[in-house]
Amino acid sequence: MADAPRIAAYRSDPAVARLQSWTTYTLEQAEALCRTMQGRAIDAPGTWFQMAIVLVDGGEMIGDCGLHFPGSGEPGHGTEMEIGITLASEHQGKGLASDAIAAIATLAFGPLGKQSIRATVDARNAGARALLERAGFKPVPGGVKRVMFKGEWCDEIDYVLRAHP
């Protein structure tokens, strides 16, 4: 619960929220997220698991990474996971999200035994697309979808990182 004010602060930044599913993010929403995560097991089918991104030096929370584990009947159940990353704007462009993705890939392809990691990115988010591509993610053939997002049409691109390319 101690992380809730920090989560609300970076998630409510308009530059961070612009291409995320929310527009504003309140302290109450951050507290609810923290309560939801308390006691949740990683890799529970059909759930999202939020992991904090913290600086090694000092332990400051600078963002979070959502890990989605497909449930029974969903494509990729048991073999895949999906990720989404939120990073405070003052920490973007420093390689920290790359470090977080590398750590998540080590977890996914090691102890969790996943075969692939997926991510969906708004095509306008050049920074996130470059981040995924630097990490070895490849666009999924035919994985561009036209969607209505926050009142406007945009393209989303599906990416995948495989354990054994």
Domain boundaries, the chain: 42-162
Q: What is the pTM of this model?
A: 0.91
Whole-angstrom distance between the N-terminal and C-terminal Cα of the chain?
Answer: 39
Q: What sign for the dihedral angle of Cα 30, 32, 79, 158?
A: negative
Rounded to the nearest 10°, the torsion over CA 103, 109, 114, 118 is 50
Strands 152-162 and 116-122: antiparallel
Per-residue pLDDT tens listing for the chain (165 residues):
999 999 999 999 988 888 788 888 999 999 999 999 999 999 999 999 999 999 999 999 999 999 999 999 999 999 999 999 999 999 999 999 999 999 999 999 999 999 999 999 999 889 999 999 999 999 998 878 888 877 889 899 999 999 987
Strands 80-87 and 47-54: unpaired
Q: Give the per-residue pLDDT at 152.
A: 85
Pick from 114, 62, 59: nearest CA to 83:
114
Rounded distance, CA 119 to CA 139, Å?
9
What would the CATH number be for the domain defined by 42-162?
3.40.630.30
Q: Give the per-residue pLDDT at 45.
A: 95
Pick from 86, 93, 152: nearest CA to 121:
86
- Per DSSP, the three-state class of 39 is coil
Q: Give the per-residue pLDDT at 137.
A: 97
Quick check: 66 and 90 in contact, CB under 8 A?
no
Q: Give the per-residue pLDDT at 143.
A: 78
Q: Give the per-residue pLDDT at 99.
A: 95
49 has which bridge partners? 67
